[in-house]
Amino acid sequence: MTNYIDGFVLPIPSIHLKACKKIAEQVNDIWKEYGAIAYFEYVGDDLTLEGTKSFTDTIGASKGKSLYLVGLFSLQKGTRFS
C-alpha cells in the first residue's frame, strides 16, 4: 500500500520555535481526524554544504530563523483533506 506525506517547510524566527511546536501538538488530533496516521517535526539550523546552494537561501530564510518542517503521514490519498 502506498503512504502519502504532506510536508510544510516554514522559515520561523528561532525564538518562536517552542510556540510552533505547541501549535503543532495541538492540531495533531485534528490532522488525525482528517486521515493522518502520524506527524513529525524537524528543525534545521545548519543546512549549508560547501559547493552547493544553501537550502536556507533557497527558501529565503534570513539570519535568526530556523527551518521548521512539519509532515503528515496518511494511508490514502483521498483521506488527506476530506
Provide the residue-wise pLDDT of the chain in tens; the chain has 82 residues.
577 777 778 888 889 889 988 888 888 888 888 778 888 888 876 777 788 887 777 777 777 777 777 777 776 666 555 5
Q: Any idea of the CA torsion for 49, 59, 17, 22, to the nearest 10 degrees?
A: -120
Contact yes or no for 80/35 (Cβ under 8 A): yes
Q: Is 4-47+56-79 a CATH 3.40.50.261 domain?
A: no
pLDDT given for residue 47 in this prediction: 74
| pLDDT computed for residue 56 by the predictor | 76
Domain residues of the chain, as ranges? 4-47+56-79
Count of all residues that appear for the chain in the document: 82
* 70: three-class secondary structure by DSSP: strand
